[in-house]
Amino acid sequence: MARKSRRQSVIANQETIVLEKAFKVGIYVRLSIEDIRDRKDSDSIHNQTSMLKQFVEERPYLQTYSIYTDNGEKGTNFDRPEFNRLMDDVKGGRVNCIVVKDLSRFGRDYLETGNYLEKIFPFLGVRFISINDNYDSFNPENTNEGLIISLKNLLNDVYTKDISKKIITSFKERQSKGEFLGAHVPYGYARPNDGSYTLVVDEEAAVVIRQIYKWKLEGLSDAVIARRLNDMNVPSPSKHKLNKGEWKSDRYKESVWQRIAIKAITENEVYLGHKIYGKIQASLYEGKKKSRMPRDQWTIIENDHEQIIDQESFDIVHNKRVLINEEFHEAIERNKHLENTENIFKDLAKCGDCKSNLVRRRHIKKGEIEYYYFLCTTFESNNGCKCSRKYIFEDELKAAVYETIKNEIELVNDIDKIIDKVMAENKRSNQSNNIALEIKKTKIEIEKLQAIRTTLFDDYLEQLLTEQEYLYAKNDYDKKEEKFRNRLDELFLEQSRFAEVYTHENKYLTAFRRFMDAQELSREMLTALVHSIELKSDKHIHINFKFKDTFEELRVHFKAQGIEVKSYE
């Protein structure tokens, strides 16, 4: 018989801890290399996922809720798309156990990783399992593991910073030789087939770049150019790279031309034949976060590769943009004395289609703010290719939202009267008393069963019962007690619902009652009562109120007693 490994033995011992509880598992997988098409080692995304899935499937008390995969994300940065989705599911109660291959897959930042393991997860009641580290946070035998895990965590941090120093030193040396080491080749260029680090012109994209400069010289705006390219079905830079196989993610399939892409192309000196390094710099080992550097700190290697745009055209376009920027900032300077009123809809007003926050803008006439309005910028940012045009005046939005909230407050008044009526007729009182009486009876039955089990054991010790008879009877009483305890949990829950929902102290009623005498809409009122306000393309406004589930539960409760509660929605 094959001998079990130490890791398997440790994990096996841990399985006896909480067998009666099923954990909802989030399987987390991370690889810091973006393109792993040719990877065959055990750290590949596929192998990590298979290993973790097998681990979970072999344990009936672990049930996979979802798999979270961050491919090409650094362990020193916890702002990762799939990690954020995992934490959203943890906070929402959908995941209460996280399983990883080893600690370094979870994170390599010593302080941040320790914060999750020692503070955040214990506070949220989340079980954390690291297979290769033989670590399970729910194992009572792990009392001495904290120091070991912290040490591994620190080693991961030191290792990452050491690698950072070596990579940065190597990159600077190779950059000084003119080698292109960027993660992505600029749109308009490609890497040569011989594997060298020079840039060669991608003629298909270069034609588009030259046309963009031609239109800019004719005086067209970035937005108009982007719209023309979309109307002509010209692939955006992201989609072009996807079509050529340089990029793999399907999220670029629907990518379109945007104003910011036109701006970037007409400001990039790489099209003059210059190679530029150091626009954005970061250094983990020096503790420097990623930041954009001023131009005088860039490294520029002139006439490094074939140019796409001539210097004269570039300068004309650049100077026009500088002039526009100066006029823009002059306008800001002229109007800086104008103070904005409070935006009470900040982060609450959203587009009903794309769900992005509505942007608040102001209209200035003769040096004074004439009015404010909200609009969805997705439409104009994508030149009409995404979402739909929608806007609303702030006063119009305030009036509509205030009216709806006042209607809800009137509804609260109606419900308060219904609760008074129900209580006066003793409907709620009798039902509540019945629950309390059943709780009392259930507790008595449980106590009886416990006493009978004690007697059974005494009879067994005195040999009045055989072992088989004792175990049979004990099992029967255990099952009966379990049923009573389950019923007791249901009764306690029902009792708490009465206290929380079917009274004047109901969260929904209490929240709206605070603003019974409010004469105008305020930020305080909105944040207390509203999750979000959605603007539809037909200017219809939909308000997502807080505590709506509690309100609906109250309506159902009254309906069961033959009482209808109207709704203004």
* Residue 65 confidence (pLDDT): 92
Find all residues with CB under 8 Å of 319, minimum gap 6, and list them: none
Cα separation of 335 and 330, whole Å? Answer: 9
Average pLDDT over residues 281-292: 49
* Residue 237 confidence (pLDDT): 93
Q: What is the b/e burial string over 484-513, where b = at least 16 CB atoms within 10 angstroms of the residue's CB?
A: beeebeebeeeeeeeeebbeeebebbebbe
* Domain membership flag for residue 287: yes
Specify the number of domains making up the chain.
Answer: 3
* Domain membership flag for residue 173: no
DSSP state letter for 186: P
* Residue 447 confidence (pLDDT): 86
Cα separation of 543 and 534, whole Å? Answer: 6
Percentage of the chain exceeding pLDDT 70: 73
Cα separation of 384 and 354, whole Å? Answer: 13
AA letter at 457: F
Kindly state whether residues 222 and 302 are assigned to the same domain: yes
Chain center to CA of 9: 36
Predicted TM-score (pTM) of this structure: 0.47
Average pLDDT over residues 112-139: 82
Q: Is 397 exposed, middle or buried (0-12, 13-18, 19+ CB in 10 A)?
A: buried
Tell me whether strands 280-283 and 288-292 are parallel, antiparallel or unpaired.
antiparallel
Kindly state whether residues 314 and 343 are assigned to the same domain: no
7-12: Cβ within 8 A, 24+ apart: 7/131, 7/132, 7/134, 10/134, 11/131, 11/134, 11/136
Kindly state whether residues 308 and 363 are assigned to the same domain: no
AA letter at 413: N
Confidence of residue 487 (pLDDT cuts 50, 70, 90): confident
* Residue 385 confidence (pLDDT): 66
Average pLDDT over residues 303-327: 90
Cβ 69 vs Cβ 56: under 8 Å: no
R_g over Cα of the chain: 33
* 471 phi/psi in degrees, rounded to 5: -65, -40
The 3-state DSSP class for residue 533 equals: strand
Cα separation of 412 and 422, whole Å? Answer: 15
Range in 35-39, 85-89, 116-120, 134-138 the model is least confident about: 35-39
Cα separation of 224 and 211, whole Å? Answer: 13
Q: What is the pLDDT of residues 217-252, one digit of tens each?
A: 999 989 889 989 998 999 999 999 888 888 777 778
Kindly state whether residues 486 and 376 are assigned to the same domain: yes
Q: Which of 459, 458, 444, 452 is nearest to 475 (CA)?
A: 452
435 C-beta neighbours (distance < 10 Å), count? 17
Kindly state whether residues 318 and 345 are assigned to the same domain: no
Kindly state whether residues 442 and 314 are assigned to the same domain: no
Find all residues with CB under 8 Å of 122, minimum gap 6, and list them: 137
CATH of the domain at 63: 3.40.50.1390
Average pLDDT over residues 128-146: 70
Average pLDDT over residues 134-147: 61
Cα separation of 530 and 546, whole Å? Answer: 5
Cα separation of 209 and 63, whole Å? Answer: 52
Most confident range, picked from 263-277, 395-409, 507-521? 395-409
Tokens of residue 58, six digits: 């072999």
* Residue 207 confidence (pLDDT): 95
Average pLDDT of the chain to the nearest whole number: 77
* Domain membership flag for residue 172: no
Q: What is the pLDDT of residues 521-547, one digit of tens each?
A: 999 999 999 999 999 888 899 999 988
pLDDT at 143 > cutoff 50:
no
Kindly state whether residues 417 and 449 are assigned to the same domain: yes
pLDDT at 206 > cutoff 60:
yes
More confident of the two residues 70 and 15:
70
Cα separation of 454 and 443, whole Å? Answer: 17
Confidence of residue 310 (pLDDT cuts 50, 70, 90): very high
Kindly state whether residues 381 and 471 are assigned to the same domain: yes
Host domain of residue 398: 339-569
Site of tokens 């079905």:
233
Mark which of 146, 161, 176 sits at the end of a domain: 161
Cβ 194 vs Cβ 294: under 8 Å: no
Confidence of residue 68 (pLDDT cuts 50, 70, 90): very high
The DSSP-derived string for 28-88 is EEEES-S--TT--STTSHHHHHHHHHHHHHT-TTEEEEEEEEEES--TT----HHHHHHHH
pLDDT at 209 > cutoff 90:
yes
* Residue 35 confidence (pLDDT): 38
* Domain membership flag for residue 226: yes
199 C-beta neighbours (distance < 10 Å), count? 21
pLDDT at 14 > cutoff 60:
no
Average pLDDT over residues 11-28: 63
CATH of the domain at 302: 3.90.1750.20
Can you say whether the dihedral through the CA atoms of 381, 383, 385, 389 is positive or negative? positive
Chain center to CA of 498: 34
* Residue 211 confidence (pLDDT): 96
Kindly state whether residues 150 and 263 are assigned to the same domain: no
Cα separation of 184 and 189, whole Å? Answer: 10
Kindly state whether residues 308 and 405 are assigned to the same domain: no
Find all residues with CB under 8 Å of 252, minimum gap 6, and list them: 238, 239, 241, 242
Tokens of residue 384, six digits: 């009409």
Cα separation of 499 and 438, whole Å? Answer: 17
* Domain membership flag for residue 170: no
* Domain membership flag for residue 180: no
Average pLDDT over residues 20-47: 68
Mark which of 322, 354, 378 sits at the end of a domain: 322
* CA atoms within a 13 Å half-sphere pointing along the CA-CB vector of 138: 22
Cα separation of 81 and 68, whole Å? Answer: 9
* Domain membership flag for residue 471: yes
The DSSP-derived string for 298-357 is SEEETT-S--SS-HHHHHHHHHHHHHHHHHHHHHHHHTTTPPPPP-TTTTTEEETTT-PB
Confidence of residue 424 (pLDDT cuts 50, 70, 90): low
Percentage of the chain exceeding pLDDT 90: 25
Cα separation of 126 and 98, whole Å? Answer: 7
Tokens of residue 160, six digits: 């990452």
Tell me whether strands 275-277 and 288-292 are parallel, antiparallel or unpaired.
unpaired
* Domain membership flag for residue 518: yes
Most confident range, picked from 25-29, 275-279, 419-423, 492-496? 25-29
The DSSP-derived string for 195-259 is --S--EE-HHHHHHHHHHHHHHHTT--HHHHHHHHHHTTPPPHHHHHHHTTS---GGGTT----H
Kindly state whether residues 414 and 554 are assigned to the same domain: yes
Kindly state whether residues 278 and 153 are assigned to the same domain: no
* Residue 486 confidence (pLDDT): 86
